[in-house]
Amino acid sequence: MDHSRIVRIAVVGAGLMGHGIAQEFALAGYQVRLHDLGDDRLRTALTDIRANLLRLSSMGRLESAQIDPALAAITVSIDLGRTVAGAELVIEAIVEELGAKHALLRSLNGLCDGETIIASNTSSFMPSRLAEAISCPDRLLVAHYFNPPYQIPLVEIVPGPETSNETVMTVVGLLQKVGKKPVVLRKEATGFVGNRLQFALFREALAIVEQGIADPEAVDQVVRFGFGRRLAAAGPFEVFDLAGLDTILAVATQVFPELDAANPTAQPVPELLLRKVAEGDLGVKSGRGFHEWTAQKADELRNRLTQALVQSESNG
């Protein structure tokens, strides 16, 4: 299915993530049906969507004239069958419990037609686990949004072992059309990429506080006023390529063995980093590290970092 054939989108689950996902597609001009188990939840979702749109309008992110048409594009219902009937894409955004997701997927398996794509917004379950409940694993994938979904550009696309390339490309094309930044993982893994990184940082933050190295306020300030400002403009591989992987190796040799989550059976420094340095792939200084670098590309990165840091300073 080409993404241009998607005109009706159903979102199942009107909570924190679901109503935000519905809002974004409605704002982009799609007809959206939003489902939840109670009318009160749906009323709350519509109230929250209006508040979100008004807030964005007050900040100059959209025109006030866009608000009412976006709200009018959303149809709410407690009838699951009515919600998903004729939808080319169904997005599951219910509670993060595998049993509940399996029950819903079994229902969708009987209600959706033979071409409907089912995308789960799960934050942790691999698509192969979800596919146990359906007969069309080729049309199932994970589309993991980050909160708030209408402001964070990233959507992690996680195909399962049986997900078709056509399904992946259709969802990627649709998300790009509405302004998202979909990233397709090479294979499934619990927590995907974003949450593995976030929770690795959180695990170490907890250890720092437990060990009395710093209090939570200090940890938050170190991230906010330190490396966190760089991460708004460049990822860790870009940042460390710029610093020089030989320098990073020297630091890693001292720090990695001290990390609370260090695996005592593993070597202190990952083989990937050791191999890069041994082969002379030191980052920007050598023209290759984890990325390929030209002088122009390196200057573009420095300019991007400078712009982000200046903006962070102006925002306090």
Active site residues: 123, 144, 156, 195
Q: In what order do the strands lie in the sheet with 89-92?
A: 74-77, 31-35, 8-12, 89-92, 117-120, 140-145, 154-159, 181-184
Q: Are 50 and 39 in contact (CB under 8 A)?
A: no
Tell me the sheet residues that pair with 77: 35
Supply the DSSP string of 148-189, one letter for each residue.
STTT--EEEEEE-TT--HHHHHHHHHHHHHTT-EEEE-SS--
Q: Where are the beta strands (DSSP E) in the chain?
A: 8-12, 31-35, 74-77, 89-92, 117-120, 140-145, 154-159, 181-184
Cβ-proximal residues to 308 (8 Å cutoff; 6+ apart), any chain: 229, 230, 232, 233, 234
Write out the two tokens for 34. 């939003």
